[in-house]
Chains A and B, each alone.
Chain A
Amino acid sequence: MTPTSTFGVNTMLSSKHFFLLPALLTLVAIILFPLLFTIRVSFSSWDVFQSGLDYIGGKNYGRVLADERFWQSLGRLSLLSLISVSLQYTLGFALALAVWKQVRGGRFLRVLFLIPMMTTPVVMSVIWRTVFHESLGPANDILGMFGIGAVPWLSSATGAFISVLIVEVWQWTPFMFLLLLAGLVSLPREPYLAAAIDGAGTWRTFWQVTFPLMAPITIGALIIRLIEASKIMDTVYVLTSGGPGTATETSSYYIYIRGLRDFQIGYSAALSLVYLVIMIVSLTVIAKLLLRLLVGKVG
């Protein structure tokens, strides 16, 4: 390689880097800077009575480890996310299968199924709160028509947990439906022809052909929804405010209370980072397990 050509390559690389610069700067501005700032804040005692970035070492992290309420909220969130995403997946898959084949009114149904996802969570939570209102809401009225007594939707721990679950499933099943339907539409026809020639029935075709072929999309859909579900905040805020007691208090709602209500900026930054690390680790593990379980099985 001659010096001239080295110079040419270097020039080319430099100009390439130059063109990458806007994207890199954007990345730094929108991801790295807030993250680094949050890390810095988490080592400070920034609070309502103490502004500014002093340095208090790992005190905030020590508090997080001893914060029973945070860990309880994390456990509650895990349970809520796993149940709601499982239900969303099951229902979403069932609905996608229902409109996958040509059915009468298929287009109408597709639009209908997507409506919940397109509404604003806060607005829908307000409407659901009215639905679940125990003396004035329609939910208990309808149950009453069937002779079922009033259900304490929002005033009992179990009822409130189920109510949040119902709203989550109602709102986000369409997202699963959309992804899984897109996956179904893109499946190759040959395996189905082969299965038909082999005389496989509907049930067997589903388990032996459709389900394995859908595995990569399933994993993607589940992970995306788990990430989203782990951030649940607005539904809880409007529907139950985390109550009764702490029965529906999730991690993000708890961090909101500490950060924005109590104005414990340093401590809530530490909570957010611990939460972020836990989420990254647990979702990575879940993704690996799903890959092994679903794709590994195909292999």
Chain B
Amino acid sequence: MKYRFTTSASVLAIIASSAVPVSAQDYTRFGIEQDLPGTCSYAATDAKDYSGRTLNIITHAIPVIGEPTALHAEQFAELTGAEVNVVHVPFGDLFQRIMIPFQSEQNAYDVMFYPSLWIGDFSRFLAPVPEAYVNSTGMMDVTPSFTGVATWNGEMIQYPMDGDRHYLKFRTDVFDNAEVQAQYLADTGNELTVPATWEEYNQVAAYFNASDWDGDGELNYGSAEVAKRDDLMFSAFISRAAPYAKHPDVQGGFFFDLETMEPLINTPGFVRGLELFIEAQASFPPGGTNFGLGDEIFSFGGGQTLMSYSWDDAYIQANQEDSRIRNMVAAAPLPGASEVWNRTTGAWDTFETPNRAPYMTWGWSSAVSSMSEEQEMGFDFLCFFSNEANAEHDMQIGRFGVNPYRNSHFDIDYWKGQGWADETAQTYVTTLSEMEESQNRVFDLRVPGVSQFMSSMANGVAEAMAGQKTAQDALDDVAQEWAEIADRIGKDRLRDAYANVVTLEDNEG
């Protein structure tokens, strides 16, 4: 009853704040270029009064997501008079710091920022996003992919504030260089083009590996990848395996067969992806098999490697004002596969145009706890955090970790306004926006116990990468462990959760 009342009150408040014309006050002191119109603009938030009330927030360590949380919490406190406490937690501890209070029914935090793939574990503890916020200007502009990521059993329970995906990044000063193209053709008999398959990616990476192709006196390398176990390597593997294992004509599950809930992780598509991942190690920089995300950003963003694929960070770093490779990089879809495993027929299908399976790689999200007594203020804060002006501001700062998640973020002029060259901006916007239109997307395994599944997979992949097991043996062991985890969770419960992922992948949502 109380919840209904607060929700109704917040609806009225939002409608009222949207309807009331706000005076053109100057909010540039908050570091934004200008306040942009919207449901939770600076002016609208300024009109609220939360004096004497406290909001407790848990978020990631500074800078990624933690820094914008701290910044906007301070602004929110100044605008509304609320007391806002922010707790920053390193990634490795974030899950348990949120989960333990949930499980022990303590109302420790009102607002949480966390990786969106934990939705399967947290869903039962989250407050649904009230209709007023679902219909807010910022939310209406969120792309369908990230609206889908925030939705569980048909109800929005996460508040989108980031949009992440994996895509290919490459050096245009090499790929567009006529001399290099001619030399490549002479040496390999192939045209130098942006890799369309992972086999091509490995070939190009190997060709340019361990040579000083940028002429700075230092050796350059073929590929920088996140290959360190327990440091988001599971996402890199999914990117590589997806086009071989995600058949566009086969529905009903990528990681599991939704009907039987049998793991598919050791099927030939995943094995092929892993074999190519193992092969690619030969083109990594020295120590590249131990690269975490930070190393990958530094390696590609710093100009050491020809190609890379992961989140936006390396691309943003490469194009920052002080970067020596600024505007010498471009984006492209992740490489695909000419042969795709069809688990229905049990055979490889050949594709003339490589099969692409864009990977919507979790990304950060936020939510309000269902136990919170300050739900209205919590949602107001999240709405303010992601308001139009703040989102534009945060996307410009690479270390903040906020990446495009609204249709308006795919405006090429915005990125050119940041000093990006035509090709750099155009390929970035096109790559990201086309992923939204793909009918063969892959999403994370957003089910209860996702950390156990991913930890098991990362370990198996790492064992194969280190030569401790063959790709097939390693993934067979992973499949066996996944089956054990599934038994512990309960197949029906797992199926119910996994259906949410399959709905997105099968474009039914």
Min Cβ gap A244→B in Å is 4
B187: interface (CB < 8 Å): no
Q: Say whether A261 contacts B451, CB under 8 Å.
A: yes
CB-defined contacts of B455 to chain A, threshold 8 Å = 257, 261-262
Q: Which of B477-509 contact A (CB under 8 A)?
A: 488-489, 493
Q: Which of B452-496 contact A (CB under 8 A)?
A: 452, 455, 459, 462-468, 488-489, 493
Given the known interface contacts A47-B449, A49-B493, the answer about A246 and B462 at a Cβ–Cβ threshold of 8 Å is yes
CB-defined contacts of A262 to chain B, threshold 8 Å = 449, 451-452, 455
Q: Say whether A140 contacts B286, CB under 8 Å.
A: yes
B257: interface (CB < 8 Å): no
User: What are 23 A-B pairs with beta-carbon distances under 8 A?
Assistant: A48-B121, A48-B449, A48-B451, A49-B448, A133-B287, A134-B285, A135-B287, A140-B286, A153-B287, A154-B290, A155-B286, A157-B468, A160-B290, A241-B292, A244-B290, A244-B462, A246-B463, A246-B468, A257-B455, A260-B95, A262-B455, A263-B95, A264-B452
Q: Say whether A243 contacts B99, CB under 8 Å.
A: no
B289: interface (CB < 8 Å): yes
Q: Which residue of B lies closest to A253 (CB)?
A: B230
A35: interface (CB < 8 Å): no
CB-defined contacts of A160 to chain B, threshold 8 Å = 290
Min Cβ gap B451→A in Å is 5
B103: interface (CB < 8 Å): yes
Q: Which of B101-155 contact A (CB under 8 A)?
A: 103-104, 121
B229: interface (CB < 8 Å): yes
A293: interface (CB < 8 Å): no
Q: Say whether B465 contacts A257, CB under 8 Å.
A: no
Where chain A touches its partner, the secondary structure class is loop
A173: interface (CB < 8 Å): no
Q: Say whether A135 contacts B451, CB under 8 Å.
A: no
Min Cβ gap B478→A in Å is 12
Q: Say whether A244 contacts B465, CB under 8 Å.
A: yes
CB-defined contacts of B103 to chain A, threshold 8 Å = 51-52
B93: interface (CB < 8 Å): yes
Q: Say whether A245 contacts B287, CB under 8 Å.
A: no
B231: interface (CB < 8 Å): yes
Q: Say whether B286 contacts A243, CB under 8 Å.
A: no
Cα-based distance from A243 to B228 in the complex (angstroms): 7
CB-defined contacts of B493 to chain A, threshold 8 Å = 49
CB-defined contacts of B488 to chain A, threshold 8 Å = 45, 47, 49
Specify which of A47, A52, A134, A246 is in contact with B286 (CB 8 Å cutoff).
A134
Cα-based distance from A153 to B289 in the complex (angstroms): 11
CB-defined contacts of B230 to chain A, threshold 8 Å = 241-243, 257, 261
A247: interface (CB < 8 Å): yes
B288: interface (CB < 8 Å): yes
CB-defined contacts of B92 to chain A, threshold 8 Å = 237, 260-261
Q: Which residue of B lies closest to A132 (CB)?
A: B287
Given the known interface contacts A45-B488, A49-B493, the answer about A260 and B96 at a Cβ–Cβ threshold of 8 Å is yes
Contact with B along A33-64 (1 / 0, CB 8 A): 00000000000010111011000000000000
Cα-based distance from A17 to B103 in the complex (angstroms): 40
B304: interface (CB < 8 Å): yes
CB-defined contacts of A52 to chain B, threshold 8 Å = 103
Q: Say whether B467 contacts A245, CB under 8 Å.
A: yes
A281: interface (CB < 8 Å): no
A240: interface (CB < 8 Å): yes
CB-defined contacts of A154 to chain B, threshold 8 Å = 287, 290
Q: Say whether B290 contacts A240, CB under 8 Å.
A: yes
Cα-based distance from A217 to B323 in the complex (angstroms): 57
A150: interface (CB < 8 Å): yes
Cα-based distance from A133 to B95 in the complex (angstroms): 29
Given the known interface contacts A135-B286, A241-B231, A245-B468, the answer about A48 and B462 at a Cβ–Cβ threshold of 8 Å is no
Q: Which residues of A approach B to under 8 Å, CB–CB?
A: 45, 47-49, 51-52, 69, 132-135, 140, 150, 152-155, 157, 160, 237, 240-247, 257, 260-264
CB-defined contacts of A134 to chain B, threshold 8 Å = 285-287, 290
CB-defined contacts of A152 to chain B, threshold 8 Å = 286-287
Where chain B touches its partner, the secondary structure class is helix
Q: Say whether A155 contacts B121, CB under 8 Å.
A: no
Min Cβ gap A8→B in Å is 50
Cα-based distance from A260 to B95 in the complex (angstroms): 8
CB-defined contacts of A257 to chain B, threshold 8 Å = 230, 455
Q: Say whether B452 contacts A243, CB under 8 Å.
A: no
CB-defined contacts of B290 to chain A, threshold 8 Å = 134, 154-155, 160, 240, 243-244
Specify which of A45, A157, A263 is in contact with B99 (CB 8 Å cutoff).
A263
Closest 3 CB pairs of A and B: A245-B466, A134-B287, A134-B286
Specify which of A51, A69, A135, A247 is in contact with B466 (CB 8 Å cutoff).
A247
Min Cβ gap B293→A in Å is 12
CB-defined contacts of A153 to chain B, threshold 8 Å = 287
Min Cβ gap B76→A in Å is 31
Q: Say whether B99 contacts A155, CB under 8 Å.
A: no
CB-defined contacts of A132 to chain B, threshold 8 Å = 287
CB-defined contacts of B465 to chain A, threshold 8 Å = 244-245
Q: Say whether B286 contacts A150, CB under 8 Å.
A: yes
Cα-based distance from A51 to B103 in the complex (angstroms): 6
CB-defined contacts of B99 to chain A, threshold 8 Å = 48, 263
* 20 more CB-based (< 8 A) A-B contacts, given A157-B466, A261-B230: A47-B488, A48-B99, A48-B121, A48-B448, A49-B449, A133-B287, A135-B304, A153-B287, A154-B287, A155-B286, A155-B288, A240-B290, A241-B230, A242-B229, A244-B289, A244-B290, A247-B466, A260-B95, A263-B96, A264-B452
CB-defined contacts of A47 to chain B, threshold 8 Å = 449, 488
Cα-based distance from A239 to B258 in the complex (angstroms): 39
Q: Which residue of B lies closest to A129 (CB)?
A: B290
Min Cβ gap B222→A in Å is 13
Q: Say whether A48 contacts B287, CB under 8 Å.
A: no
Q: Which of B232-261 contact A (CB under 8 A)?
A: none
Given the known interface contacts A152-B286, A154-B287, A261-B95, the answer about A245 and B463 at a Cβ–Cβ threshold of 8 Å is yes
CB-defined contacts of B285 to chain A, threshold 8 Å = 134-135
CB-defined contacts of A243 to chain B, threshold 8 Å = 228-230, 289-290, 462, 466
Specify which of A49, A69, A140, A242 is in contact with B121 (CB 8 Å cutoff).
A49
Most chain B CB neighbours (cut-off 10 Å) among A47, A51, A245, A262: A245
Q: Which of B203-248 contact A (CB under 8 A)?
A: 228-231
Cα-based distance from A287 to B288 in the complex (angstroms): 42
Q: Which residue of B lies closest to A247 (CB)?
A: B466
CB-defined contacts of B462 to chain A, threshold 8 Å = 243-246
Cα-based distance from A74 to B231 in the complex (angstroms): 23
Contact with A along B411-446 (1 / 0, CB 8 A): 000000000000000000000000000000000000
Q: Which residue of A lies closest to B488 (CB)?
A: A47
Min Cβ gap A143→B in Å is 12
Cα-based distance from A246 to B290 in the complex (angstroms): 12
CB-defined contacts of A140 to chain B, threshold 8 Å = 286
Q: Which residue of A lies closest to B447 (CB)?
A: A49
Q: Which residue of B lies closest to A160 (CB)?
A: B290
CB-defined contacts of B228 to chain A, threshold 8 Å = 241, 243
CB-defined contacts of B466 to chain A, threshold 8 Å = 157, 243-247
CB-defined contacts of A263 to chain B, threshold 8 Å = 95-96, 99, 121, 451-452
